[in-house]
Structure 1
Amino acid sequence: MFRSYLKIALRNLWKHRTHTVINVVGLAVAFATGLLLFLTSAFELSYDRFHTDADRIFRLYFEENNRDGTSNNSASMPYPLTPALKAEIPELEAVTRIIWSSGGVRRGDQTYRKMVRSCDADFLKVFSFPLKKGNINSALADLSNIVISENMAKDVFGKEDPIGKSLQIRVDDGWRPFVVTGIIGDFPDNSTQQYDALIRVENKGDYAEYKSRWDHTNHDVFVKLKPGVTPAMLERRLQAFTNKYFASDIKEREKDYPKNRLGYQKSLLLMPLTDVHFDTETGNGQGVSRMYIYTLLLVGLFILVIACINFINLTIAQAVGRAREVGVRKSLGAGRAQLFGQIWGETFLLCSVSLLIGLGVAWGSLPTFNQLFSSHLKLDNFLQADVLTVTGLSFLLVTLIAGGYPSWFATRFNAVEVLKGKVSMKRPGVLRNSLIVAQFAIACLLIVCTLVMGQQITYLREKPMGINEEQVISIPVGQDLDGATALQQVRNQLANKPSIVSVSGSGVNIGSGLDGNSSRMMFGFAYKKRDVRCDWLRIDFDYLKTLGVKLVQGRDFSPTFGTDTVSSVLISESMAKQLGESNPVGKFIKPDQKQYQIVGVVSDFNLYSLHQKAEPITLQMSDGPISYVLVRVAPQNLTSAMETVKAAWSAIAPKQEFQGSFLNENTDRWYRREQRLSTIFSTAAGIAILLSCMGLFAIAVLSIEQRTKEIGVRKVLGASVASIVGLLSKDFLKLVLIGIVIASPVAWWAMSQWLTNFAYKIDMPWWVFILAGVLAVVIALLTVSYQSIRAALTNPVKSLRSE
């Protein structure tokens, strides 16, 4: 019997091969797209879950309010906090500070650039990265100890055993010797903690100065709770701890600041380790929004739903053609269960072929997908037990949904009525119309989202930042060189070069450079009983000229003024406004223990991405290192100018990789996440429209076939080709228009929510809804009109011959 059913299924699929191809292609594309998006989402959601006690590991963060009542959360902690926690909070099993930095590593004459992280000895106890060699209790016991990753051990030592060997690490401005006391396993791709080497945090150059200062913050702190301790229990202890050590800050805030959501001025709270990857607030916007992940899943689901809709509509439309077969089988004694099994078996066969093709497409497109969406998927991801389980369950669900109802629908025909020829489906059912509306609503939703995202990304790229980032090359100094020395050497190398306009330096890069580093220093202080907060930016001479920043009042920094490198500052216009000074030149500010004189005011400019509102800026030349050399080049030949700069840098640092990049490229990289999301939506919209049109085309073919005689009669009675085309097309266009009406408010709400992630954003453009609707109507009309025109031009004699 199985063999008989298989033959019938294959013959039936071959007989309707056009519809079979449409179904197979649609489902295969849906399976491939859904699988890739699911794997990407699953990978993102798996961050840090591999740690043995991930549920007991938390990152600390402060929660307090701004003057306007908005929340101001920060994960940056002061140095003395960790020792105090260890001494006073017995509920903690382990505590570690972590400072991210990239450092130079030197062995003999060979220098390497590695991620050298500063931490406490408890790092190895908080996290469950495997220690391959060494003792977890003593590997970081001494300040001269260093633990290196397996990958770094291979790069630096080759096949030698690194334990006990010496390395030199560039710490701040000098090289210091360290002894390898442990080898730690490489971090997996889904880890927020990334490293090549670990050294003690006490080695940082500023540690001695700030180890007792509770008002200076610069690092993350992770804690591991003892078994049985709940976060709520610990946070109550932490509130008393906060009240004790931040009493002066809390007392000062009570004058003008509202309390936070917990009813306190300042709270020290716990963020679960598994939430850190998704933290977009305290991590300066570096986290990945969960909404982004859920959007990927939703897009994959949309495409799968559209493919299922096509399958259901086509199968139901074909059911009338199989009515006679069902009637004959019923008259010969076949039960509904047997008929259901046979017809559903065809669905299972077709879905199986589609799944196999979809898996092949997904695997084949993996390199392109990873490159396009910055994913880390591998073949191993397909073979994980949970992925195979979800894939299998999804396959069964699709076959049940897509094949179940059509199979039940086909088996309920009355055998007597069928054999008398009284079964017909001249009027489309509510279900078919609803499904067509649903798939075009989804397509329109994706089109609108794509258009709005494109507009926002264009706005971000074109909005004036207050600087001229064109023709400016940014070069990361790295840890191997002294920034001020390297800057002066670059100036000497590029002097009198016709393609070089100016050279300067900065402690902060503009945009996301090739080194991938990001840093920020902010100061909060009082000025004439005003609370002031600003970005504290280290720059060098010619910074304004190099970046095209406009000087509004006073003067720029100049070598002729000896105090400029010691106690002078420039401030932005918003900083002057914050100070309450219309002419601040000559006034003094005291952000820390040192007094600075304002010598000039510059126009406001964006130092960071437009996700965040620009803060007031103070520019100074006395505090902090030069981390980036900035070179403005002539616009005539940018390629040649880049080579000139590269050659100059090679002469200064011959062993260091040149990572120079243009600032406009850096600022574009700020919005890579939005660009990826826009690409996903535009790709998904294209797939959704293609699948919808394939389904609409097939339904139009079947619908027109069922109305062949009606068309013939109308032509005999004098109907024109245009009237017949309009008659056949209008029903489908009505459904598309209903889909547009349903999709528009949903798209407006979704994009309004997405735009709240940006401090600077576009007004919702009304024309995108009209454009999306017009596109959907035109595409649907082109899809249906081809078959409608073909039917209208058919000789009516052929249509009526069999009557």
Structure 2
Amino acid sequence: SLVAGVIIALFLVPAYSEMWPFLDIRLSFDQNINFYLFLIGVLTFTGVIAGSYPAFYVTSFEPASILKGTSKFGGVNKMTNVLLTLQFSISLIAIILGVVFYQNAIYQKELDYGYDLKGAISVYFDDIDSYKSYENVVRSNPQILSFAGSEYQIDRGYRNDPIKNADKEYDADILHIGDNFFETMDFKLLDGRGFRKDSETDMKESVIVSQEMVRVFGWEEPLGQKLIWMDTVPLYVVGVMQDAYTDGLWAPISPLMLRYVPEEDYHYLTIKASSADLIKINEYLESEWKTMFPDKMYTGQFMDEELSEASLVNANVLKMFGFLGVIATFMSVIGLFSIVSLNILKRMKEVGVRKVLGASVGHLMTILNKNFIIILLIASVIGSILSYMMAGAFMEMIWTYHVDPGVMSFASSILLLLVIAMATISIKVYKAATASPTETIRTE
């Protein structure tokens, strides 16, 4: 088993490393002597623990009772039942966690972030002259659906400052945007109006706030509310927008405030294209960048990388728990099959006598399966409770916003495990229940 485990690790370690772009894990056998000490320790510890119980169990018998034939050997005892229950509990935990993370991946994929990053590319500029000259390149490409400028960006560069209203003060994310940015990023306006193009009043004192800001300040009528920024700057709410997950799903939503800024303040150019053309558009933008700014590194970035990272975490965790679930279930099924076989051998004469007395095949299968059904039910309860606690803990460790485990997650997982277990033992049990009573009773 140890040798087989090491050989399997030669394949699994590189596979795990490739799952994460930021990892480079290598399994080396010639650079760390502690690795061999660890293997020897595992082998020794496992051998001692695994062999202790049967050794003490066998040596507890009295020689006289063994010679007289009064001692009973074999079959299924309490320790066997406990270990089998533990095995199936672990299997169920892995299966349930895999199902929950699969549901979470669907939930996060379909979640409305309050804006649309699909097909969006963000390019950063040090000065407005570079921005204006590059904007002409963007404008000339018919595959680009829309573009807009801004001083800050959703996924990078926005500021966070305290905002006052009456006697309340809260920190808020502040995003300075230009013409058409609201529409390009597909923000949702719920109340009021957007910014008027080239309006000096809007640039000076108008803001659009998020639902979260309305909630934290407790406004019943948000439009027209006066805010104080940086202790001296008065701002007035002209619109309310849907909450936006500016930090993805990793951190709680913060109150958000949008301000309208002139073109001279632009540092980011946001380009929107269809997802099918996005790679070609990015190649085009990078090519034009190298022509116009040969001494500068291209600053274009796909804006959905944050979403892709969340999808990567979901997918990889799902793979790990899926793999663990398959292995744990396989090991549990092997143990179950072995124990069922031993139990049937022990009770073959009982089965033969019951058949002679008129017991049906269904009744015999119920008798033989009863103990294992109880084990599976206990394992289902233990596995469900532990997996519920673990799923919540894992989710909260990774994300602020995630799916909560539902009843169907547990019901489908338990049903799957029960089907696998019953399919494993049903043939063996059915064969024993339909065996000829003449042969089973005559067998010594």
Please tell me the TM-score bracket, short chain as reference: 0.7 to 0.9
Q: Does 1:647 align with 2:312?
A: no
Q: Does 1:533 align with 2:153?
A: no
Q: Does 1:546 align with 2:184?
A: yes
Alignment of 1:500-519 (within 5 A): 500-506=144-150, 519=157
- Structure 1 match to 2:26: 378
Query: How many Å apart are 1:675 and its aligned residue?
Result: 4.7
The letter for the 2-side match of 1:500 is I
CA distance in 1, matches of 2:335, 2:63: 30
Residue of structure 1 aligned with 2:367, choices 723, 727, 734: 727
CA distance in 2, matches of 1:625, 1:691: 63
Distance 1:386 1:622, change over 3 A: farther
Query: How many Å apart are 1:383 and its aligned residue?
Result: 4.7
Query: How many Å apart are 1:669 and its aligned residue?
Result: 1.2
The letter for the 1-side match of 2:95 is I
Residue of structure 1 aligned with 2:255, choices 616, 620, 635: 616
1:6-39 deviation per Cα after TM superposition (whole angstroms, max 9, x unaligned): xxxxxxxxxxxxxxxxxxxxxxxxxxxxxxxxxx
More helix by share: 2
Q: Does 1:522 align with 2:160?
A: yes
- Structure 2 match to 1:751: 391
The letter for the 2-side match of 1:791 is A
1:682-725 deviation per Cα after TM superposition (whole angstroms, max 9, x unaligned): 32222211111111112222222233333334344443333332
The letter for the 2-side match of 1:547 is M
- Structure 1 match to 2:13: 366
- Structure 2 match to 1:459: 107
Do the aligned residues in 1 keep the contact of 2:226 with 2:234 (CA within 8 Å)? no
Q: Does 1:447 align with 2:91?
A: no
CA distance in 1, matches of 2:132, 2:202: 17
Alignment of 1:342-491 (within 5 A): 354-372=1-19, 375-380=23-28, 383-415=31-63, 417-418=65-66, 421-425=69-73, 428-470=76-118, 472-477=119-124, 481-482=125-126, 484-485=128-129, 487-491=131-135
Do the aligned residues in 1 keep the contact of 2:152 with 2:268 (CA within 8 Å)? yes
Query: How many Å apart are 1:431 and its aligned residue?
Result: 0.9
The letter for the 2-side match of 1:399 is G
Query: How many Å apart are 1:732 and its aligned residue?
Result: 0.8
1:653-685 deviation per Cα after TM superposition (whole angstroms, max 9, x unaligned): 35645754362x531413644554443333222
Residue of structure 1 aligned with 2:194, choices 550, 556, 564: 556
The letter for the 2-side match of 1:591 is M
1:403-438 deviation per Cα after TM superposition (whole angstroms, max 9, x unaligned): 222233334455555455554346521111111112
CA distance in 2, matches of 1:585, 1:488: 34
CA distance in 1, matches of 2:29, 2:149: 44
Query: How many Å apart are 1:355 and its aligned residue?
Result: 0.9
1:328-377 deviation per Cα after TM superposition (whole angstroms, max 9, x unaligned): xxxxxxxxxxxxxxxxxxxxxxxxxx112211211232211112256432
Gaps of 5+ in 1: 1-353, 512-517
Do the aligned residues in 2 keep the contact of 1:650 with 1:658 (CA within 8 Å)? no
1:473-498 deviation per Cα after TM superposition (whole angstroms, max 9, x unaligned): 22353xxx436555545542233644
Query: How many Å apart are 1:465 and its aligned residue?
Result: 1.8
Do the aligned residues in 2 keep the contact of 1:490 with 1:649 (CA within 8 Å)? no
The letter for the 2-side match of 1:368 is A
Do the aligned residues in 1 keep the contact of 2:286 with 2:298 (CA within 8 Å)? no
Query: How many Å apart are 1:731 and its aligned residue?
Result: 1.3
Do the aligned residues in 2 keep the contact of 1:554 with 1:585 (CA within 8 Å)? no
Superposed CA RMSD in Å reads: 3.5
CA distance in 2, matches of 1:734, 1:625: 71
- Secondary structure (helix, strand or coil) at the match of 1:379 reads coil
Q: Does 1:495 align with 2:135?
A: no
Do the aligned residues in 2 keep the contact of 1:490 with 1:648 (CA within 8 Å)? no
The TM-score normalised by the length of structure 2 is 0.83
Query: How many Å apart are 1:440 and its aligned residue?
Result: 1.5
Query: How many Å apart are 1:466 and its aligned residue?
Result: 1.6
Alignment of 1:308-323 (within 5 A): none
- Secondary structure (helix, strand or coil) at the match of 2:270 reads strand
Query: How many Å apart are 1:750 and its aligned residue?
Result: 3.3
Do the aligned residues in 2 keep the contact of 1:483 with 1:627 (CA within 8 Å)? yes
1:516-558 deviation per Cα after TM superposition (whole angstroms, max 9, x unaligned): xx55521014343331321022333211111111234554345
1:491-510 deviation per Cα after TM superposition (whole angstroms, max 9, x unaligned): 42233644332112456655
Aligned length: 436
Distance 1:771 1:745, change over 3 A: same
The letter for the 1-side match of 2:244 is F
The letter for the 2-side match of 1:504 is A
The letter for the 1-side match of 2:417 is A
Do the aligned residues in 2 keep the contact of 1:483 with 1:628 (CA within 8 Å)? no
Do the aligned residues in 1 keep the contact of 2:150 with 2:269 (CA within 8 Å)? yes
Alignment of 1:83-98 (within 5 A): none
Do the aligned residues in 2 keep the contact of 1:572 with 1:618 (CA within 8 Å)? yes
Distance 1:381 1:609, change over 3 A: farther
- Structure 2 match to 1:765: 406
Gaps of 5+ in 2: none
- Structure 2 match to 1:571: 209
Do the aligned residues in 1 keep the contact of 2:123 with 2:269 (CA within 8 Å)? yes
Do the aligned residues in 1 keep the contact of 2:229 with 2:235 (CA within 8 Å)? yes
CA distance in 2, matches of 1:529, 1:382: 67
CA distance in 2, matches of 1:612, 1:584: 28
Do the aligned residues in 1 keep the contact of 2:175 with 2:259 (CA within 8 Å)? yes
Distance 1:626 1:728, change over 3 A: farther
Distance 1:445 1:565, change over 3 A: same
Higher relative contact order (CA 8 A, sep 6+): 2
